[in-house]
Amino acid sequence: MRIIASVPAKVILFGEHFVVYGKRALATALNLRLNVEVSDRAEGGYQLNVENIPSFGLQMELTGTKAQPFIDYEQASRAIVYIRYAIRYLERMYGIDGGVVIRVRSDIPLSAGLGSSAAASVATIAALKRYFGLWNGDLEELREDAHNVEKAVQGSASPTDTAISTYGGYVLIEGGEVERLYDLPAIDLVTGTICSIPLGIGPEQLDELRLKTRKLVENVKARKEAFSGVFEHIASAADALTEEAIAALRHHDLSGLGCLMNINQGLLDSLGVVPRQLSELVKLAQESGALGAKVTGAGGLAELGGTGTVIALPSAGQSYKLAIAMGLTGALVRNLKTNAEGLVIEEEPV
Ligand code: MEV
């Protein structure tokens, strides 16, 4: 038997960081997917194959005909920590016991604010549950399982990413609660990801990159505590932005939506989560005809190469032109659509 679980990437349109303090955030699924395939393995245990994840590099030392990995595999495998934790979680909770090959294929860049960790957790859990006869179609339970895995790896996590990977569509997050919004239209977005996990990065930095979101959330917390009166005003403004953005989307008011994105970008900058690389990409998009542009997700850290993602809203028919302009910076650029489908599970007899 072969099971394939496919889930979408997520993008936070409005309200990242402020959502940690109970404010509203709007997120949606992108038509960029991660697949986990589970099939039989006679020997028992788990064999994991990770294929073609953008931004995941492995440096080799070539001496004569021999290739030595620069990063040892144990360290590199930390990048797939969510999959390992998902397996451990299912062993403990549901008593699964291996005998499978797990193959992960992904178009979602790592550590880029596009929900690759949640996608890996949700798809791995869904595929394994189905394979071991534990899948009852309960998306809420799946989301909870994946959220537990995220918390186990990261210490804390908002439910945003796992909700989007599971449900797809649009979700509003408020006070830690997830509400699915069914009446918002799909729109075009251009994403630009500064994605180099630079080749030559040492194992320690690889670990820092994995914990990038946590570090950025801590930095914001420090700023909030230092200037609590100011922060409260900025957070209220962000909350109002999310509300206005939902109304703009409902009315197909794209120029209004773009303007709100630009304002949200200003608020994120005020939190200190926008390094030069991402800021330049936002400005370039804005000056190249985007209706609006902003950083999405946690943002970036200058010392880790500014890795992160910018979203830009193209005016009608201008997606490709905008993508070409943004691509000139060396960012990984894609023309995508919001409101993508959530989890899809397929079963193939082998
Ligand atoms: C990270 O993608 C988004 C943050 O708001 C953190 C979270 O919501 O857990 C920065």
Give the per-residue pLDDT at 322: 97
235: helix, coil or strand?
helix
45: left (phi over 0), alpha (psi -120 to 50) or beta: left
| Dihedral sign of CA atoms 305, 71, 327, 341 in order | negative
What is the fold of 188-337? Alpha-Beta Plaits (3.30.70)
Give the chain's residues under pLDDT 50.
57, 69-76
Enumerate the active-site residues.
161
- For atom 2 of ligand 1, the residue with the nearest CA is 297
Compute the distance between CA of residue 239 and CA of residue 225 in angstroms, rounded to an integer: 19
Ligand 1 proximity of 159 Cβ (cutoff 6 Å): no
Give the per-residue pLDDT at 24: 97
Ligand 1 proximity of 17 Cβ (cutoff 6 Å): yes
Instruction: List Cα–Cα distances, 300 to 76, 195, 261, 271, in angstroms.
Output: 21, 11, 18, 11
For residue 15, the ligand 1 atom closest to its alpha carbon is 5
CB atoms near residue 228 (< 10 Å): 9
Among 84, 110, 111, CA closest to 213: 111
* Residue 199 identity (one-letter amino acid): L
CATH C-level class of 2-186+340-348 = alpha beta
- For atom 8 of ligand 1, the residue with the nearest CA is 158
- For atom 6 of ligand 1, the residue with the nearest CA is 17
Among 104, 252, 120, 82, CA closest to 183: 252
Compute the distance between CA of residue 232 and CA of residue 117 in angstroms, rounded to an integer: 30
Domain boundaries, the chain: 2-186+340-348, 188-337
307: helix, coil or strand?
coil
Compute the distance between CA of residue 36 and CA of residue 119 in angstroms, rounded to an integer: 10
Residues with Cβ < 8 Å from 70, sequence gap 6 or more?
58, 59, 60, 61, 200
Q: How far is the CA of 167 from the centre of ligand 1 (A)?
A: 18
Question: What token pair was written down for 147?
Answer: 């959220």
Q: How far is the CA of 203 from the centre of ligand 1 (A)?
A: 24
Compute the distance between CA of residue 192 and CA of residue 80 in angstroms, rounded to an integer: 23
Ligand 1 proximity of 157 Cβ (cutoff 6 Å): yes
User: Where does residue 291 rank: exposed (0-12), middle (13-18), buried (19+ CB within 10 A)?
Assistant: buried
Ligand 1 proximity of 217 Cβ (cutoff 6 Å): yes
| Dihedral sign of CA atoms 105, 110, 112, 116 in order | positive
Q: What is the CA radius of gyration of the chain?
A: 20
Give the per-residue pLDDT at 51: 76
Query: Given the structure tokens 């969510």, which residue do they identify?
Result: 82
What single-letter DSSP state applies at residue 168? B
